[in-house]
Amino acid sequence: MDAGKAIFETVDKLRQRRTAPLILELDLTEGLTEGPPADPLAAVLSMRKTRLADVLSGLKRARQDPRVKALVVKIGGQPLGLAMVQELRQAVIHFRASGKLTVAFSETFGEFGGGTVPYYLATAFERLYLQPSGDVGLTGVALEQRFVKGALGKLGVGFEAGQRHEYKTAPNTFTQDHMTDPHRESMARIVESVTESMVAGIADGRRLDPGKVRELIDRGPFTAAEAQEAGLVDGLAYRDEVYDELKRAAGDEAHLLYVSRYARGAAVRKLPHPMADAIALVHATGMIRTGRSGRSPLGGGGAMGSDTISAALRAARRDDHVKAVVFRVDSPGGSYVASDTVWREVTLTRKVKPVIVSMGDLAASGGYFISMAADVIVAQPGTLTGSIGVYGGKPVFSELLEKAGITSEMVAEGANAGMFSTSRGFSPEQWERINAWLDRIYDDFVGKVAQSRDLSRERTHELARGRVWTGADARASGLVDELGGLEDALAMARKRAGLADDAPVRTYPRLNPLERLRGPESSEDRSAALARIRMDAWGPLARLSAELGLPAVGPLILPGWYSIR
């Protein structure tokens, strides 16, 4: 009898949970992942991380779900990129417009440090609470670059590099000891554009005048008491106090549920027919290189391989049930050749079905190269994009080797056989070949941008020259079509394909377990899009990278110090 009673009570509790009001919860302390795991190692490392797409789809569905009464988000810990923050703000604002309660809680917005971007996210919520011991690091936006030319010179290391053009500043770290005028101009406009977006968002969210927000930024950072007095937060409270208030507002019978769990549960309950017409979602995340996607087991982020991304685009293109493709790009660039390979697949796909690009935090240099052929490009105001340019060069260790008592001799056949040796500089004849290479890549890049974006070559060159733009400025100049996020791109794709507003989205490549196990039969097989752990993750420039102490990248790359978090 006791066992039967226990079973009955358990079933009754489950039934009550299925009908009880919900408080959706999102914990951002561990950050979010942009897309599905790129390789087996990434799958393990991201097992407990929440996916951005799940959060967006969950909040969209919850707007219409009468069971969902509120949303509470803990902000802090792992920093999020500005464009991802803007994507989340947009989703929260839409959720809030449905009349449901939204609450943000943070232990601190920067503990003895800056916290402008996470605070900007928090201002999208109806109520904003801060732990009494916390701070609001509302200090504004800053980009800083260090130059190592002087340090390398003391060591006896030179750096020879060419670039196209003056705004392609990636090699400046090694070739300059200060910002050039174009370098400072480009960075100043990025900071200004980002500040404009954040000031407008904070002013709207906290019901403050934009001028007052700028004044507060100049006064920051703030202690908790100062932040409450200035109207930057609604109250000072610990987690238990915030959650108790939420439960009182939603009802005693309400229970908490993570947004990602809610989204996955809703997806399972509404499984589309496998043959239903759908939108394909292809993620292109990380550095761009030739070969297959993956990462080094020695550490570092993942990279997209042109073979992997191309195979995914081919699979989506050839699937008759896919009526449009959303290509989600979050990349600083990398290899020119690999970027061109992916560009070709986007061009071929666009010939048979609509392609909408959704840009994440970064879609610059090679990241812009693979995006530009789409029918529509959608970016957030804080996305960093453009950087249409190229650079190339090498370090020269001849003086360092001489100081260390190391001599070097070379035997070669071919006038330029040893031109990439780091023990000697380029000869005038070799510089001619380097410049021809840089000119060819730049001309190809600019020409394809002009054709894809319906711009004159002259206008494209004005916008190019290696300059980095925010999404807001890129939209004004025609390099981007619309401002928005992934959900906006999916809506555009459905509309262009003539599908219903709730048409399913399928991530590509779509592989069943057997296909994953057996591996591809050929490069045309869908499973050719599988990623892997790459033991050779540094590529053919591994020796050069090791000598510099830097990761090997391609000639179309945005420097890592372009990061607003």
Instruction: Give the predicted TM-score (pTM) of the model.
Output: 0.87
Mean pLDDT for the stretch of residues 112-137: 95
The mean pLDDT of 141-168, rounded to a whole number, is 90
Residue 516 exposed, middle or buried by CB count within 10 Å (0-12, 13-18, 19+): exposed
Residue 535 pLDDT greater than 70, yes or no = no
Q: What is the mean pLDDT of residues 335-350?
A: 97
Task: Map tokens 């009754």 to a residue.
Answer: 12
Higher-confidence residue of 540 and 50: namely 50
Classify 385 as helix, strand or coil. strand
Angle (deg, nearest 10), helices 486-497 and 82-97: 70
Q: Is pLDDT above 90 for 359?
A: yes
pLDDT exceeds 50 at position 547: no
Choose the most confident range, by mean pLDDT, from 41-50, 314-323, 503-512, 539-548: 314-323
Q: DSSP secondary-structure letter at 528?
A: G
Secondary structure tally for the chain: helices H, strands E: 22, 26
Spatial contact of 279 and 490, defined as CB atoms under 8 Å apart: yes
With 70 as the cut, is the pLDDT of residue 374 above it? yes
Task: Match 């407990």 to its residue by tokens.
Answer: 48
The 10s digit of each residue's pLDDT in 174-189 is 889 899 999 999 999 9
Catalytic residues, by residue number, are 168, 365
Residues 118-122: what's their mean pLDDT? Answer: 97
pLDDT band at 555 (very low <50, low <70, confident <90, very high): low
pLDDT digit string (tens) for 267-314? 555 656 667 899 999 999 999 999 888 765 444 567 889 999 999 999
pLDDT tens-digit profile of 39-76? 555 555 555 678 999 999 999 999 999 999 999 999 98
Specify the residue for token string 């079905």: 353
How far, in Å, CA of 465 to CA of 373, rounded? 19
Structure tokens belonging to residue 405: 């008592």
Distance CA 137, CA 221 (A): 4
Residues 6+ apart with CB under 8 A from 92: 59, 71, 73, 102, 124, 125
Query: Does 204 score more than 70 pLDDT?
Result: yes
- Does residue 543 have a pLDDT over 50? no
At which residue do the structure tokens 């977006």 appear?
A: 197
Calpha distance 374→15 (Å, rounded): 47
Q: Which residues pair with 445 in a beta bridge?
A: none
How high does pLDDT run on average in the chain?
A: 86
> What CA–CA distance (Å, rounded) separates 151 from 156?
9
Assign 398 a pLDDT band (cuts: 50, 70, 90). Answer: confident
